Amino acid sequence: MVETPGHTSDSRSLLIFGPDGVSRLITGDMVLGRGTTVITHPDGDLAAYLGSLDLLEALVRAQHVEELLPGHGPIVNDPMSWLSFLSAASVGAAGSSSSCACRRGPYTE
């Protein structure tokens, strides 16, 4: 089990090795099978989320993880591509003032 904060401060992911020899990572709501997860103040933290994505990428490489098992959506069969997409999407959203995922607190203009 590894701590993967970001979506929430207490998010965890679990690496499992199946009897079929396949390494899988249960990601819960940290990584979804479709779209990006919501990161909201006060419990969510974008910097922690990006760090957790980096950690998961390293784990996928080191343990040859073949599948991500998300809390919602389909099984992810190409973990590295999906994690890279999520990192790029999150960094892009962080630079956009119109992104709901990166705002802290109530909306004001």
Check which CATH number belongs to the domain holding 26 and give it: 3.60.15.10
pLDDT of residue 91: 80
For residue 19, being part of any structural domain is answered with: yes
Question: Can you give the pLDDT at residue 10?
Answer: 96
Return mean pLDDT, the chain. Answer: 87
Q: What share of the chain has pLDDT > 70, as a percent?
A: 83
What is the spatial distance between Cα 11 and Cα 56, in angstroms, rounded to a whole number? Answer: 13
- The H-assigned helical ranges of 26-96 are 46-63, 79-94
Global pTM reads: 0.81
Beta-carbon count within 10 A of 28 CB: 18
Residue 60 belongs to a domain: yes
For 63-106, write each residue's pLDDT tens digit: 999 999 999 999 999 999 999 999 998 887 666 534 444 433 33
1 in Cβ contact with 13 (< 8 Å): yes
Three-state SS at 27: strand
Instruction: Say if 91 falls within a structural domain.
Output: yes
Number of domains in the chain: 1
Asked if the structure places residue 109 within a domain, the reply is: no
Q: Would you say residue 107 lies in a domain?
A: no
Q: What pairing do the DSSP bridges indicate for beta strands 23-28 and 12-17? A: antiparallel
Which residues constitute the domain of residue 23?
2-102
